[in-house]
Amino acid sequence: MTGFRTWLMRSGMGGVLLLAILLALVFPLVLDIFRLNLVGKYLSYAFVALGLVMLWGWGGVLSLGQGVFFGLGGYGMAMFLKLEASDPITTKIQSTPGIPDFMDWNQLTALPAWWEPFRSFPLALALLLTVPTLLAFVIGFAMFKRRVGGVYFAIITQAVALILTVLIIGQQGYTGGVNGMTDLKTLMGWDTRTDHAKYILYFINVALLILAIIVCTWIQKSKLGTLLLAMRDKEDRVRFSGYDVANFRIFAFCLAALLAAVGGAMFTLQVGFMSPSLVGIVPSIEMVIFAAVGGRMSLVGAVYGSLLVNYGKTYFSESFPDLWLFLMAGLFLGVVLGFPDGLAGVYMNRIRPWVIARFSGRKAAEPIVASAQPMHRADPPPTSEASLPPGIQGQRI
Amino acid sequence: MSNTDFVLAVEDLTVSFDGFKAIDKLSLYVDKNELRVIIGPNGAGKTTLLDLICGKTRASHGSIKFKNHEMTKMAEYRIVRAGIGRKFQTPSIYENLSVFKNLEVSFPRGRSVFGALAFKCDEPVKERVRTVADEIGLGTQLQTEAGLLSHGQKQWLEIGMLLMQDPELLMLDEPIAGMSVRERELTAELLQRICKGRSVIVIEHDMDFVKQIAHKVTVMHQGKILAEGSMEQVQSDPKVIDVYLGH
């Protein structure tokens, strides 16, 4: 048991375990299925927030277009579900039975060729994961190899989000337009709208999320994680240590895109529709807020951030329909101004040291090595001869 | 350009920024095991020359050959992998990481994305980190966060990070700027030790320090080489006295 405790402390897996218990045990027991399904929806956004922790917090690259990848993942899943919901019998009143209803309304008489792969679930799954990742690779390659970064990168990703929204809305016959894809019913014959299915989807989402956190933690602990932090702060030093900085950024961007796509697919499954309002600029910025509120250096924090902000959104919009946007903005500004490291920063810098000081007087709080802002520290001490380490003293003539 | 025995052969190198020639038809040769010091007044193009050699700035004209391989068109990380290490003027270290991590990250293995994912800090790596840390006098501070080191120690750490890569050519831009007298002495000794088995180029202003370490001194002025030779030769050169040492 002691060994397990030290392992939890050292690997930082304690927080993940706590989160897993909360999501997989406490929430299903306490919440009714309607609320639990809402939590599932929030948790599908948490995938995007995880990606942003890796890309923005660790990689130092802010993307304001994660909605693109979330949307592509979501649309990929929606296309498969829509095709399944549009069998010739249910759609026999259409002028062309067997194609999605919105195609019929837009005078399409046959399924477009690029929709065909989405008839097969494995192919649809493969495409909804690879297409966003490849798009991220192409954008990342074009940007990072040319050393576009910072604000310019953020603006370009934002432009991509806008382009995709315009494209989806404009190509109504192929994408369902502004209404998105609705009336999704079954997944390979399994009705996803029942309470039972919602429970199962919720647990799948939680399992995938915990798995994603574990994989990301492993990446953070690898040399690649160290390098991401290093190139965030001293890009030139990393470059002139023999690393191709662009490749590492492309990797982080692809990883963030892949995670967002998983989130999008889980969103479609749990909420039952996908629309361009989840792809564009505003949702993309909201996703950044989830990560910022949770703490952009903390994976677990990002999940809590997604939960809290989305819960706040639901609560405020139910209770104060006129004021809720202002309250949301207030929450965001308050957290970012008051606690630049987000909720995770509050925990690591204030609560944890307090708890440790309170309960074990001897142990001093560990310094946080990977913080977004450098910690306050005393001025470096002057090097006096006596304080020189042995290696140097040994060199005296 | 002809092939030479020199480790570094810079020939006819020119770079202009909007018409201003920061480096003007410059040629420079550095031998094996040589410690070369480049001096010159502010704006002479010393740092620009290092930038050109390590690929940070691209040459408008001319050639830079490292062990007879042309470097002018190579990507920066390839130049580093070929064996050229560069220390920047202000200490450029990863402040939030420990001394150990700073050195470990600089170890030349696992440099690709997936190589870095699979990288394991095994015994040879740890051994090398400890050796280098002892060399730069930080052997007892491996777990210290690098940002907490004194200015001089940060400079040594950056030199140590270069030593991890075991470069054949080491370029140091003002390594003793801001150091105490004692730290300067230690740095001079460090440089004399590390230039064995490799070539070192140092940019420096402090004349006493230059005298202490230099095998050969190159004086630069307005993007050109004004004089080259031993410290005594250079100091007695009337041209040099005129532009640099005289005032």
Which tens digit of pLDDT belongs to each residue from A77-114? 999 999 998 888 888 888 888 889 899 888 888 899 99
C-alpha distance across the termini of chain A, in Å: 54
CA distance B161 to chain A (A): 8
> What single DSSP character describes residue A112?
-
Contacting residues for B190 by C-beta, under 8 A, at least 6 apart: A395, B135, B136, B137, B156, B159
Tokens representing A120? Answer: 């097969």
Instruction: Encode pLDDT of B222-247 as tens digits.
Output: 888 988 998 888 888 888 888 765 55
Burial of A246 (0-12, 13-18, 19+ CB in 10 A): buried
Instruction: Encode pLDDT of B79-113 as tens digits.
Output: 999 999 999 888 889 998 999 999 999 998 889 99
Q: Give B144-193 as a DSSP string.
A: SBGGGS-HHHHHHHHHHHHHHT--SEEEEESTTTT--HHHHHHHHHHHHH
Nearest to A242 among B56, B165, B180 (CB): B165
- pLDDT at site B2: 59
**pLDDT more than 70, % of chain A:** 88
User: Considering the domain boundaries, does residue B37 fall inside one?
Assistant: yes
On chain B, the residues whose CB falls within 8 A of the CB of A244 are 75, 77, 111-112
- pLDDT at site A88: 86
More confident residue, A3 or A266: A266
Q: A222–B165: do the CB atoms touch at under 8 Å?
A: no
Contacting residues for A5 by C-beta, under 8 A, at least 6 apart: none
CA distance A384 to chain B (A): 9
- pLDDT at site A9: 65
Q: A229–B96: do the CB atoms touch at under 8 Å?
A: yes
A185-194, B62-71, B90-99: least confidently modelled range:
A185-194
Q: B105–A392: do the CB atoms touch at under 8 Å?
A: no
On chain A, the residues whose CB falls within 8 A of the CB of B113 are 224, 247-248, 250-251
Query: Which residues numbered 183-212 in B keep a CB inside 8 Å of some CB on A?
Result: 183, 186, 189-190
Contacting residues for A346 by C-beta, under 8 A, at least 6 apart: A295, A339
CATH (domain of B23):
3.40.50.300
Look over chain B and give the mean of its residue pLDDT values, rounded to a whole number: 89
Residue B43 has pLDDT above 90, yes or no: no
Instruction: Encode pLDDT of A233-261 as tens digits.
Output: 889 999 999 999 999 999 999 999 999 99
Nearest to B76 among A240, A385, A391 (CB): A240
- pLDDT at site A191: 87
Model pTM score:
0.88
User: Considering the domain boundaries, does residue B77 fall inside one?
Assistant: yes
pLDDT category, A390, cuts 50, 70, 90? very low
Tokens representing B127? Answer: 């051994």
User: Considering the domain boundaries, does residue B151 fall inside one?
Assistant: no
Nearest to A380 among B77, B151, B189 (CB): B151
Residue A397 has pLDDT above 50, yes or no: no
Cβ–Cβ < 8 Å for A367, A349: no
Q: B116–A224: do the CB atoms touch at under 8 Å?
A: yes
Tokens representing A74? Answer: 């979501």
Question: Taking each helix axis from N to C terminus, what angle separates B181-194 and B151-164, rounded to the nearest 10 degrees?
Answer: 10
Question: What stretch of H or E contains B142?
Answer: none
Determine the average pLDDT of the residues in A1-12: 68
- pLDDT at site A125: 95
Residue A129 has pLDDT above 70, yes or no: yes
In chain B, which residue's Cα lies nearest the Cα of A245?
A: B77
Residue A385 has pLDDT above 70, yes or no: no
- pLDDT at site A338: 83
Tokens representing B8? Answer: 């570094």
Largest CA distance in chain A: 98
Residue B69, helix vs strand vs coil = strand
Q: What is the Cα–Cα distance from A157 to A56, expressed in whole angstroms? A: 13
User: Considering the domain boundaries, does residue B74 fall inside one?
Assistant: yes
* A→B interface, C-beta within 8 Å: 219, 222-224, 226-227, 229-230, 233-234, 236-245, 247-248, 250-251, 367, 369-371, 374, 377, 380-383, 385, 388-392, 395, 397
Residue B196 has pLDDT above 90, yes or no: no
Cβ–Cβ < 8 Å for B49, B38: yes
Instruction: Encode pLDDT of A14-69 as tens digits.
Output: 889 999 999 998 999 999 999 999 999 999 999 999 999 999 999 999 999 999 99
CA distance A211 to chain B (A): 17
Q: What is the Cα–Cα distance from A46 to A263, expressed in whole angstroms? A: 7
Cβ–Cβ < 8 Å for A348, A328: no
B137 in A contact zone (CB under 8 Å): yes
B117 in A contact zone (CB under 8 Å): yes
Q: What is the Cα–Cα distance from A345 to A358, expressed in whole angstroms? A: 19
Nearest to B152 among A244, A383, A391 (CB): A383
Q: What is the Cα–Cα distance from B174 to B61, expressed in whole angstroms? A: 26
On chain A, the residues whose CB falls within 8 A of the CB of B163 are none
Q: A236–B134: do the CB atoms touch at under 8 Å?
A: no
Enclosing domain of residue B192: 8-83+167-245
The pairing of beta strand B35-39 with beta strand B20-30: unpaired
Q: Give A128-175 as a DSSP string.
A: HHHHHHHHHHHHHHHHHTTT--HHHHHHHHHHHHHHHHHHHHH-HHHH
Question: How many domains, in total, are found in chain B?
Answer: 1
- pLDDT at site A332: 78
Q: What is the Cα–Cα distance from A199 to A44, expressed in whole angstroms? A: 14
* Ramachandran class of B230: left when φ > 0, alpha when ψ lies in -120 to 50, beta otherwise: beta
Contacting residues for B114 by C-beta, under 8 A, at least 6 apart: none
pLDDT category, A382, cuts 50, 70, 90? very low
- Mutation for testing the A interface, residue in B74, B79, B94 having most A CBs under 10 Å: B94
User: Considering the domain boundaries, does residue B155 fall inside one?
Assistant: no
Determine the average pLDDT of the residues in A310-337: 83
Determine the average pLDDT of the residues in B22-42: 90
Q: How many interchain CB pairs under 8 A, A with B?
A: 130
ipTM score: 0.90
pLDDT category, A303, cuts 50, 70, 90? very high
Q: Which amino acid is at A38?
A: L
Question: What stretch of H or E contains B75?
Answer: none
Instruction: Encode pLDDT of B146-185 as tens digits.
Output: 999 999 999 999 999 999 999 999 999 988 888 888 999 9
A287-291, A389-393, B17-21, B208-212: least confidently modelled range:
A389-393
- pLDDT at site B246: 54
In chain B, which residue's Cα lies nearest the Cα of A390?
A: B137
Determine the average pLDDT of the residues in B56-61: 90
Q: What is the Cα–Cα distance from A53 to A43, expressed in whole angstroms? A: 15
CA distance B59 to chain A (A): 18
Q: A391–B134: do the CB atoms touch at under 8 Å?
A: yes
B81 in A contact zone (CB under 8 Å): yes
User: Considering the domain boundaries, does residue B143 fall inside one?
Assistant: no
- pLDDT at site A366: 47
Largest CA distance in chain B: 59
Cβ–Cβ < 8 Å for A320, A326: no
User: Considering the domain boundaries, does residue B12 fall inside one?
Assistant: yes
User: Considering the domain boundaries, does residue B137 fall inside one?
Assistant: no
Q: Which of A188, A172, A192, A189 is nearest to A180 (CA)?
A: A172
- pLDDT at site A386: 47
Burial of A53 (0-12, 13-18, 19+ CB in 10 A): buried
Tokens representing A297? Answer: 């250096």
Q: What is the Cα–Cα distance from A144 to A248, expressed in whole angstroms? A: 9
Nearest to A230 among B94, B110, B119 (CB): B94
In chain B, which residue's Cα lies nearest the Cα of A246?
A: B113
B95 in A contact zone (CB under 8 Å): yes
- pLDDT at site A91: 84
Q: B163 to each of A241, A352, B106, B152, B191, how far by Cα in Å?
A: 11, 39, 9, 17, 11
Determine the average pLDDT of the residues in A165-179: 91
Residue A214 has pLDDT above 90, yes or no: yes
pLDDT category, A391, cuts 50, 70, 90? very low
Counting every residue written for chain A, the total comes to 397
Q: B97–A369: do the CB atoms touch at under 8 Å?
A: yes
